Amino acid sequence: MFPHPRLAIATASVLAWFLLPQVLSLHYLDVLNFAAILAIGGLGVGLLLGQCGIVNLGQAAFYGCGAYVTAYGTTVLGWPALPSLVFGAVISGGLAALIGFPILRLSGFFLALATLAMGSIAGVLFFEWDWLTGGTLGMGGIPKLSLLGFELSTPGRYHYFIWPLVVLLLWLARNLVDSRPGLAMRAMRDAAPAAEVLAVDMHGLKTAMFVICAVLGSVAGSLFAHYVSFVSVQSFTVEKSIMFLLVPVVAGVHSVFGIVIGALFVALVPELLSGLGDMHQVLFGLVLVLVVTVVPGGLTGAFKQFRLIRRGR
Amino acid sequence: MQHYTSLLLQAALSGITNGFVYALVGMGLAVIFKGSRIVNAMQGEFAVIGALFTVLALQGGQLPYPVAIIAGIAVGAVSGVAIDIFCVRPMARRNASEEGFLLLTIGLAFALSAAALYFGGRDSHLLPGYGGDGVIEILEATMPVHAVWLIVVSLVVVLALRLFYTKTLLGLSMTAASADPDGATTTGINVSRMRLYTFMLGGGVGAIAGILVTPLISMNYQMGIVLTLKGFAAAIMGGLSNPLGAVVGGVALGLLESLAVIGFPSGYRDVVALSILVVIMIVMPHGLLGRAGRVGG
């Protein structure tokens, strides 16, 4: 019926995206904006998992770092938004290089638990350094972002700002994956000894990837701080790190654009199940276990398999 | 001067008590790693399940304390079996990766902690201590009677595990099944049955940990991840596949933690413990006991 079904789908989804703020309630727009923030932080975790096979259970550390630098910079020091965001990203990236250099010698379970320890330590420090972070009371009054004199003060306006940013970052990530270092990383993941023989600097590449992951987490944190204008330790727990990890796991680690599907899933499903009270968390957990045990390729992987089976017939 | 020595002694005593708690969780981790090569990120949840079920049986079911304890341990063991049958077995059949198993146990930890919230509520629960709530005095420091029981039971469990793994055919078969699955199959060992037993044992030991801790630290649905992390630190220091090593690691960790609190504000206790964990993993990948510690136990 359509000569270009892909083009039709793309046009339809852009149109739908554009019309969403007119159709959806404020509450669901809010959830969608959180999904976008999750997508940015989850993209970093996904690159690390998909390209290097590294499970990062400490993304909340960098997410919190970005959020607190933005909060402190814009409220206490009176900096504009962009320098705060960049400074947060620089600090996060620097920390990631410092921490990553020693711990990336580990692999598998041990590396994952080292990142979990990193996330937990960061959680304690966010709590204890209340002169900097406000502790459990948090920090409020973070100004809304404004773009070209246009204040992004409502969820609808933020929607038009953050999703194009997500798409831009995903596009950059895909270019990275297809670039020469990306190919080197794929070689490192699939055949480490062969990659080493071909003079791939594995430790350096892993560290660089860890830094990129941290920078994305930090940017997500800064955007979060501007969006809700209030940050406190409750937002940067180990559960948050697990949510960031789930984004690529649900989506399937080898698909960069699948991150959007994963983020929508992680943000929307608990919301849709929330009518069931505390039971919704149990169901969410079971869904996750089901995804890991039954469809290891994630949702995008399951879709691909389904198409292959249909084509086979 | 007198004051400082008693402070130091008190810190050491509570450090040793905490250390045995970590050791118990670490032992369960070691059992599961030994028998399946999986690091179980939900080991702490076994402790939560066992403890909360014992509380339920004791207070809701009005069962006698020993029966309630046995019921709690049985529930831990049964959940271990269920996890092996429903999750690990299908994944092992398609040769899932190490990351896959890690993600599985993280998902399970999430689901079980949510289930504990749903069925057990937000409240924290305490169990009565064995030997009452009395304390014994050692010089100028005190120690709950229950803590002595905790240490004694931990030592009994670790000795029993050691005898089981070195002297019985079943224990040796369980080790063989994970060390060399193909070789074990050739000699007639049912590898997947052995993994089932491993998870049963790991779940049971995890539940024992939870039941022993609950008279000292009140148990709630959020405790699982903390226990898992500390237990993992203990197990890592002991070489990961050695239950006896977990005791050495746990006590070392507990002592370091409580002595660090003398110098730092108490909030930094976890920072100290987790930093030690990371440094040990990097510097001493075979644990405090070295390569030799991996063999026995």
> In chain B, what residues touch A289 (CB-CB under 8 Å)?
87, 104, 107-108, 111
CB A110, CB B233: distance < 8 Å: no
Q: Does B110 touch chain A (CB under 8 A)?
A: yes
Q: How many other CB atoms are there within 10 angstroms of residue B149's CB atom?
A: 15
Mean pLDDT of B200-216: 93
Which residues are CB-neighbours of B168 under 8 A, at least 6 positions away? none
Reply yes or no on whether the pLDDT at B214 is more than 60: yes
Q: What is the pLDDT of residue A312?
A: 63
Q: What is the pLDDT of residue A122?
A: 92
Mean pLDDT of A20-28: 81
Question: Token pair 């004791």 is at which residue?
Answer: B58
Q: How far apart are the first and last CA of chain B?
A: 42
The least confident of A1-5, B35-39, B77-81, B272-276 is A1-5
Reply yes or no on whether the pLDDT at A142 is more than 80: yes
Query: Rounded distance, CA B218 to CA A177, Å?
Result: 48
Q: Does B118 touch chain A (CB under 8 A)?
A: yes
Residue of chain B with shortest Cα separation from A250: B103
Query: Rounded distance, CA B146 to CA B136, Å?
Result: 10
Chain A residues touching chain B at CB-CB below 8 Å: 49, 53, 55, 57, 102-103, 105-106, 108-110, 112-114, 116-118, 120-121, 124-125, 127-128, 238, 242, 245, 249, 278-279, 281-282, 284-286, 288-289, 291-294, 296
Of A109, A128, A279, the CB nearest to B98: A109
Which carries the bigger pLDDT value, residue B297 or residue B48?
Answer: B48
DSSP class of residue B86 equals: I
Overall fold of domain B2-295: ABC transporter involved in vitamin B12 uptake, BtuC (1.10.3470)
Rounded (5°) CA angle B230-B231-B236:
100
Q: What is the pLDDT of residue B266?
A: 72
Q: What is the pLDDT of residue B294?
A: 46
Mean pLDDT of A299-307: 73
Mean pLDDT of A44-52: 89
Rounded (5°) CA angle A300-A301-A303:
65
Q: What is the pLDDT of residue A42?
A: 94
Mean pLDDT of A29-44: 93
Which carries the bigger pLDDT value, residue B58 or residue A22?
Answer: B58
Q: Where are the domains of chain A?
A: 27-237
pLDDT over 90 percentage in chain A: 29
Reply yes or no on whether the pLDDT at A76 is more than 90: no
Reply yes or no on whether the pLDDT at B292 is more than 60: no
Model pLDDT for residues B68-95, shown as the tens digit of each residue: 999 999 999 999 999 999 999 988 888 8
Model pLDDT for residues A98-119, shown as the tens digit of each residue: 999 989 888 777 888 889 889 9
Which contiguous run of DSSP H or E holds residue A287?
helix A279-294
Mean pLDDT of B252-266: 81
Predicted TM-score (pTM) of this structure: 0.85
Query: Rounded distance, CA B15 to CA B24, Å?
Result: 14
Average pLDDT, rounded, for chain A: 85
Model pLDDT for residues A178-206, shown as the tens digit of each residue: 898 888 888 888 887 888 888 778 888 89
Model pLDDT for residues B188-197, shown as the tens digit of each residue: 999 999 999 9
Reply yes or no on whether the pLDDT at A34 is more than 50: yes
Query: Rounded distance, CA A255 to CA B204, Å?
Result: 40
Which carries the bigger pLDDT value, residue A145 or residue B87?
Answer: B87
Q: Does B132 touch chain A (CB under 8 A)?
A: no
B287 pLDDT band, cuts 50/70/90, is: low
Reply yes or no on whether the pLDDT at B2 is more than 80: no
Q: Where are the domains of chain B?
A: 2-295
B293 pLDDT band, cuts 50/70/90, is: very low
Which residues are CB-neighbours of A146 under 8 A, at least 6 positions away? A81, A152
B297 pLDDT band, cuts 50/70/90, is: very low
Q: What is the pLDDT of residue B291?
A: 57
Reduced to 3 states, what is the DSSP secondary structure of residue A101? helix
Query: Rounded distance, CA B209 to CA B216, Å?
Result: 12
CB A244, CB A45: distance < 8 Å: yes
Average pLDDT, rounded, for chain B: 86
> In chain B, what residues touch A118 (CB-CB under 8 Å)?
278
Q: Which of A143, A137, A133, A149 is closest to A228 using CA atoms?
A: A143
Q: What is the pLDDT of residue B290?
A: 60
Q: How many other CB atoms are there within 10 angstroms of residue B153's CB atom?
A: 17
Q: Per mean pLDDT, which of A240-249, A293-302, B127-136 is the most reliable? A: A240-249
DSSP class of residue A139 equals: B
Q: What is the pLDDT of residue B154?
A: 93
Q: What is the pLDDT of residue B135?
A: 77
DSSP codes of every residue in B132-200:
TT-EEEETTEEEEHHHHHHHHHHHHHHHHHHHHHHH-HHHHHHHHHHH-HHHHHHTT--HHHHHHHHHH
Of A117, A124, A286, the CB nearest to B277: A117
Reply yes or no on whether the pLDDT at B262 is more than 80: no
Mutation test of the interface with chain B: which of A99, A113, A274, choosing the one with the most B Cβ atoms within 10 A? A113
Which contiguous run of DSSP H or E holds residue B231?
helix B223-237
A152 pLDDT band, cuts 50/70/90, is: confident
Which residues are CB-neighbours of B290 under 8 A, at least 6 positions away? B239, B284
Mean pLDDT of B255-264: 80
Which contiguous run of DSSP H or E holds residue A146?
strand A146-147
B284 pLDDT band, cuts 50/70/90, is: confident
Mean pLDDT of B277-297: 66
Mean pLDDT of B92-101: 82
Q: What is the pLDDT of residue B219?
A: 87
Task: Give the Å distances, CA to CA, from B253 to A86, A242, B23, B226, B229.
Answer: 39, 26, 9, 14, 12
